[in-house]
Structure 1
Amino acid sequence: MKQAVVGLLAHVDAGKTTLAEAMLFAAGAIRTRGRVDHGDAHLDTDAMERERGITIFSKQAHFDHDGTHYMLLDAPGHVDFSAEAERTLQALDYAILVIGANDGVQGHTETMWDLLERYGVPTVLFVNKIDLATADTAALMHQVRARLSASCLDGVALACAAGASVPEGCATDPGALEDAAATDEAALDEYLETETLARTTVRRLVSERRVFPVLFGSALKGEGVEELLCCLDALVDERTWPDEFAARVYKVSRSPRGERLAWLKVTGGTLRAKMFVSGTERGEAWEEKIDQVRIYQAETFQTVTEVPAGQICAVTGLTHVVPGSALGAEPAGMAPQLAPVLSYQVLPGSNDVHTVVRALRELADEDPLLGVSWQEHLQEAHVQLMGAVQREVIQQTLSERFGLDVEFGPGGILYKETVTAPVEGIGHYEPLRHYAEAHLLIEPLPRGAGIEVGTRCSEDDLDRNWQRLILTHVLEREHLGVLTGSPIADVRITLLAGRAHSKHTEGGDFRQATYRAIRHALMCAREQGTCMLLEPWYRFRLTVPADKVGRALADVQRMGAEFDAPEIAGDTAQLVGTVPASEMREYALEVSGYTGGMGRLALEYAGYRACHDAERVIEEAAYDPEADLPNTPDSVFCSHGAGYTVKWFDVAEHAHVEVDPARLRPWRKADAAFFSRG
């Protein structure tokens, strides 16, 4: 039997969970179809999901249809939970992107489309709610091809060519096969010779993301669902998996009994209960035993002894893994593209603030994009989130799981900092009977690249164990910039040189030296004028009455937005572009006000870029990096048996190690192989 992990993705209210119910019902996996608006959807099992009528956590179900075993993942559709949806993509063999006929292609649809391309997931599109009186299939198909890809083609025609047994009477586009052939040179030669395409060719074009089948239907009424299943049966390709064990964690959660569950896709060999698995997190190697292996069907599960490659499951017993962790022979994956853009102060009320921080860090363990920071100099806890709905869910979870009733202060923009040119930093830590020195190079990377860590230091100069320790300290926490005290991003940090003492060096010494070297480099960059403040930008789509387009244009120009010429269709005008997130906080209310409720603003995260008003933000932050003692750029040296502090601008003159370019080795990434004991 063929098998495939298939994910359902969509913008909010497109009917994604309703489609999941319809697919499970059509395949005979459930006896009755639940409804989101009735609060009895099979996959929306969490009380908060049923209360709000949205999917918050990805869910798993499985069913068989016409010789294919499907493992279905229903991912969140709300923009605030895009990170959960992005993590799910790492487990998918195929995706179904659901588009509501009433809304068409939305900004969030385009975000999901870009992520599917980034992760290389073959995609089928299902245009839902086609039973609505306003639905126009021709116009919707034109919009899909214009906004997403010209290779979006009639799915029924492609499925028939691939051998699908679709219900009789299904209309097909006679030009779909020719258009599909035009996407690939070998397929075009085949089509010109035979005037058709072989089943294997159609499957290959879909699996290689050269074509994207589009189907229409109504999940609520069950229309088009059988055609969708038949299309998947025909287009899903059989896949051979490696024999060596490998797996990737795509989600971490807690069971109702409080057990920590790691949800993973087995990508090689066989996963067995009681087997030991190993990995590396933040530079620390670990090995643990898997306790139970579970196959979930919504909220119920079956305990199994083993799971073969190609399937997904949940396991207990793993305490170190986080979403994205690679197990066994699985290579390291890409860093998530989505990131939180808002920062809120946590107001603990009558609760102990440290208890609240511990609870938040447990939640962050399940969601790596929930940032939690303790600001020592302010004695305040802050969280970084995607939006207000996620904040409300965190607040409710703290109350229900931990019994902590907390509030949040006003949200602010989460800025980041980077460098625009390479800069070297030195950290030296030598109080009495301690010794460590580290030289680190910080270089700029493209926007969205995150943090890369590696070494060029020769092991003849510094033993690999010390190098591992230094790079572990680079990875173990978030490092702050020196303009506003915001986290640094999009940089490569390379160990160039270092020195340890045979008697006096302890592990904590290199932690101090490493932290100080990073801050020293950033202070040097600030002095050279090569520090840059970054801010989040949104992709926006603003629709207003045509007579209000002048006001809309004036607003987005004032905000520093980048946008295309307005598109006017009848009585409405549409503006599309990107804009700093800081300028859009209350603008949706303004749009509603000046358009009399006729305007609509859609926003999607578009990554970090240079801050458009950096001088103002830096001035208002009034951050003094030298006064931030937990993040000092200064070093400690020893003279006559006593330690003394050397200011950052004099550290280079006192350093004990000099970087010799002739002794540098080729750059080596600090990955799992580097941290292994081999």
Structure 2
Amino acid sequence: MASHTINLGILAHVDAGKTSLTERLLHTAGVIDRIGRVDHGDTQTDSLALERRRGITIKSAVVSFALGATTVNLIDTPGHPDFIAEVERVLSVLDGAVLVVSAVEGVQAQTRVLLRALRRLGIPALIFVNKTDRRGADPARVLGEITERLTPAVVDMAARPADRWVDVLSRQDDALLADYLADERSVTWPRLRAALTAQTRQALVHPVYAGSAMTGAGVDALIEGIREFLPADTGDPAAPVSGTVFKVDRGPAGEKLAYLRLFAGTVRTRDRLDFGRGRQGKVTGVSVFADGTASPADSVAAGRIGLLRGLDEIRIGDPVGQPHPRSSLSRQFAPPTLETVVLPRNPADRGALHLALSQLAEADPLINLRRDETRQEIAVSLYGEVQKEVIEATLAEEHGIAVEFRETTTICLERPVGTGIAVEVMTKDKEVNPFLATIGLRLAATPPGSGVRFGYEIELGSLPPAFLKAIEETVHETLRQGLHGWPVTDCAVTLVRSGYAPRQSHAHATFDKSMSSTAGDFRLLTPLVLMTALRQAGTTVHEPLHRFELDIPADTLAAVRAALAPLGAVPRETTAHGPAYRLTGDIPAAAVHSLQRQLPGLTRGEGVLECVFAGHRPVRGPVPERPRTDHNPLNRKEYLLCVLRRV
């Protein structure tokens, strides 16, 4: 058995050739006899029929192979920005990565987003400039783009002059620079190589290789770089279990499959595992990845990726066993900014559609289903139109449900602007408060990016844990729809008062819930109290904003500027690049598609637009409203009629 394991991610902008590189690595390692092609639909990792037909990666896939004494678990990730959530989940389990850049198209929007995320997380990464065999390839130009637009901390592995290496490596190593200035001969190639290894493993510098996944040129050097520069996992198989679930899928019989990266310990068949929030499950089957496939095994040990069966309640992102720092990584990429309503073409399929979408949301929680019971509709969150097409095809091919979509809309959010306090006191007068619960909540605005925090100022132990949990969970659920129907964020909600009726029983020991508080009382009262406090605090609606970079011919500058203004775009900087201009600025996410549509006509087809999520800004003009899907706790009479009728 191999003594070391590297969990390696292959990342790229769409069409840079990362799946082709995966095929080449598998062939070189002897896992496959023939290299598949994306355009032929016969690659090893694009296993979905939809992936093979469209020629893009939609879901991350794991394959394994040996490089000498090292086992590589290679994870091929989607390159299309509509499936960035798949990439985000993979980042938390990587020991290292290869970022693929096309020698023809060069650095693209997604390339920049990915390397920024890798550097933020401290994940060591090599860069492979692919497609050097293609017409229009210019590796030297692309290396310049990498240095200018990604990071200057790169070492060209094809360049041998020591001064070029020293120039990059000495930025993080003062002793190296001092020795080189004192006596160039003292800085030997072994010393430079050792410095490059150390800095690469700290994600301070990135070796750059060039070649072709299709012909195999440069791939042997890249493999040597993976072995030399990327760190192997050092987890202890004898330690307590600690891992994270980064992917959930369904097997042929509909059983749930959990992809687990194990940082420490060993998981065996029949083990009972804790995976957060008081949930447990018994492992009924284990598979590990070897020689390109997942094979049944008795156990999976630290450093490896295991496929677990039997954990029906487990979800993506769940920590398994003891929490690991990598299990709680904050979100690295933008949340979905689009939403659409999914409707079955046959009304009789409504129930089946909800079940099918729920299973899709298991594999991709950011789909974020919103069910409107009143209108009998389901809305899903999206990154883009391609993702919508994939959902439509998946529902048709895997579930036999034909659907249509309403017009895609932009998802805004609400931020509180002040502080509000509201209290509902338990009383015998059911007209005043029909619930056996007392709740007082304070809601206060917090800095942008802080999310929603829940805390309490009541005396510890004064409220049963089940009731406290009911309040906290309902707070988060209720804040999915604010005063204008949008999700509320960046606030602190504090429980400042509570009360309940202790358990009462009749003489024959039967529980009387008409005299005793239940968790349901707190779940039903919390929305009324919280939304009263939110109304006092007030909110502003913010729309998603993208940072754009636009390269255009110089003579089209005036026309492009004129088109940007009606879209709500705000140019920040204009710089000359030879016979062209580069404009940077901000544009509402809702206007990006319109700009993309206009750009070819404005620039004779020569304009190049890159956009990345840059946060939110207050909506300018009329405040957009989103229809509510709950029982509307902003209207007390309507809310009580609905929930009391249900009770």
Q: Matches of 1:380 and 1:448 in 2, distance apart?
A: 31
Q: Matches of 2:194 and 2:523 in 1, distance apart?
A: 56
Contact 1:79 1:604 (C-alpha < 8 Å) held by counterparts: no
**Aligned partner of 2:165 among 151, 173, 176:** 176
Contact 1:428 1:516 (C-alpha < 8 Å) held by counterparts: no
Contact 1:426 1:516 (C-alpha < 8 Å) held by counterparts: no
**Aligned partner of 1:266 among 254, 262, 268:** 262
Q: Using a 3 Å threshold, how does the CA distance of structure 1 residues 572 and 178 change in structure 2: closer, same or farther?
A: closer
**Aligned partner of 1:254 among 246, 250, 255:** 250
Q: Matches of 1:629 and 1:154 in 2, distance apart?
A: 57
Q: Secondary structure at the match of 2:347?
A: coil
Paired position in structure 1 for 2:409: 412
Q: Secondary structure at the match of 1:346?
A: strand
CA deviations 1:216-274 (Å, max 9, x no partner) are 11111111111111011111234432512111011111123322111110011112121
CA deviations 1:515-573 (Å, max 9, x no partner) are 223212211112xxxx1212112232323332211111222233333444333334433
Q: Matches of 2:386 and 2:176 in 1, distance apart?
A: 47
Paired position in structure 2 for 1:310: 303
Q: Using a 3 Å threshold, how does the CA distance of structure 1 residues 24 and 172 change in structure 2: closer, same or farther?
A: farther
Paired position in structure 2 for 1:616: 622
Q: Shift in Å at residue 112 of structure 1?
A: 1.1
Q: Matches of 1:465 and 1:201 in 2, distance apart?
A: 55
**Aligned partner of 1:515 among 517, 527, 531:** 527
- Correspondences of 1:181-580 after superposition (within 5 Å): 181-185=170-174, 194-196=186-188, 197=191, 201-242=195-236, 243-280=239-276, 284-296=277-289, 300-331=293-324, 333-336=328-331, 337-352=333-348, 353-427=350-424, 431=430, 434-475=435-476, 479-482=480-483, 484-503=484-503, 504-526=516-538, 531-580=539-588
Q: Using a 3 Å threshold, how does the CA distance of structure 1 residues 401 and 234 change in structure 2: closer, same or farther?
A: same
Paired position in structure 1 for 2:512: none
**Aligned partner of 1:594 among 598, 602, 606:** 602
Q: Matches of 1:425 and 1:319 in 2, distance apart?
A: 39
Moved more, 28-37 or 376-385: 376-385
Contact 2:240 2:322 (C-alpha < 8 Å) held by counterparts: yes
Q: Secondary structure at the match of 1:550?
A: helix
Amino acid at match of 2:618: C
Contact 2:342 2:380 (C-alpha < 8 Å) held by counterparts: yes
Q: Matches of 2:608 and 2:192 in 1, distance apart?
A: 46
CA deviations 1:387-427 (Å, max 9, x no partner) are 11101111111112221111001111111112133433445
Q: Matches of 1:226 and 1:456 in 2, distance apart?
A: 61
CA deviations 1:374-398 (Å, max 9, x no partner) are 2244443211111111011111111
Moved more, 558-567 or 106-115: 558-567
Contact 2:235 2:303 (C-alpha < 8 Å) held by counterparts: yes
State percent identity of aligned pairs: 32
Amino acid at match of 1:505: S
Paired position in structure 2 for 1:671: none
Q: Matches of 1:442 and 1:387 in 2, distance apart?
A: 34
Paired position in structure 2 for 1:122: 124
Q: Matches of 2:252 and 2:290 in 1, distance apart?
A: 15
Moved more, 417-426 or 37-46: 417-426
Moved more, 351-360 or 580-589: 351-360
Q: Secondary structure at the match of 1:80?
A: helix
CA deviations 1:123-144 (Å, max 9, x no partner) are 1111111223433333222211
Q: Secondary structure at the match of 1:586?
A: helix
Q: Secondary structure at the match of 1:509?
A: helix
- Where does the alignment leave 5 or more consecutive residues of structure 1 unmatched? 158-170, 637-642, 646-678
Amino acid at match of 1:221: T
Paired position in structure 2 for 1:167: none
Q: Matches of 1:60 and 1:10 in 2, distance apart?
A: 16
Contact 2:60 2:76 (C-alpha < 8 Å) held by counterparts: yes
CA deviations 1:563-604 (Å, max 9, x no partner) are 443333344333233311112232212112233333333333
Moved more, 356-365 or 416-425: 416-425
Q: Matches of 2:27 and 2:626 in 1, distance apart?
A: 59
CA deviations 1:607-661 (Å, max 9, x no partner) are 3x12342x4133xx387x8xx871314679xxxxxx999xxxxxxxxxxxxxxxx
Moved more, 306-315 or 464-473: 464-473
Q: Using a 3 Å threshold, how does the CA distance of structure 1 residues 249 and 453 change in structure 2: closer, same or farther?
A: farther
Q: Shift in Å at residue 77 of structure 1?
A: 0.2
Q: Matches of 2:405 and 2:356 in 1, distance apart?
A: 15
Q: Secondary structure at the match of 1:630?
A: coil
Moved more, 325-334 or 77-86: 325-334
Q: Secondary structure at the match of 1:584?
A: helix
Q: Using a 3 Å threshold, how does the CA distance of structure 1 residues 424 and 222 change in structure 2: closer, same or farther?
A: farther
Contact 2:420 2:535 (C-alpha < 8 Å) held by counterparts: no
Amino acid at match of 2:551: T
Q: Matches of 1:182 and 1:341 in 2, distance apart?
A: 39
Q: Using a 3 Å threshold, how does the CA distance of structure 1 residues 132 and 444 change in structure 2: closer, same or farther?
A: farther
Q: Matches of 1:515 and 1:502 in 2, distance apart?
A: 22
**Normalization by structure 2: what TM-score?**
0.88
Contact 2:444 2:491 (C-alpha < 8 Å) held by counterparts: yes
Q: CA RMSD in A?
A: 2.7
Q: Using a 3 Å threshold, how does the CA distance of structure 1 residues 622 and 312 change in structure 2: closer, same or farther?
A: closer
Q: Matches of 1:333 and 1:97 in 2, distance apart?
A: 24
Contact 1:429 1:509 (C-alpha < 8 Å) held by counterparts: no
Q: Shift in Å at residue 192 of structure 1?
A: 6.8
Q: Using a 3 Å threshold, how does the CA distance of structure 1 residues 133 and 397 change in structure 2: closer, same or farther?
A: closer
Q: Matches of 1:571 and 1:11 in 2, distance apart?
A: 27
- Where does the alignment leave 5 or more consecutive residues of structure 2 unmatched? 504-515, 643-647
Q: Shift in Å at residue 183 of structure 1?
A: 1.6
Q: Shift in Å at residue 363 of structure 1?
A: 1.0
Q: Using a 3 Å threshold, how does the CA distance of structure 1 residues 644 and 341 change in structure 2: closer, same or farther?
A: closer
**Normalization by structure 1: what TM-score?**
0.84
Paired position in structure 1 for 2:143: 141
CA deviations 1:258-317 (Å, max 9, x no partner) are 22111110011112121111123xxx4211111111124698420111111111121111
Pairs aligned (count): 611
Contact 2:153 2:168 (C-alpha < 8 Å) held by counterparts: yes
Q: Shift in Å at residue 358 of structure 1?
A: 2.6
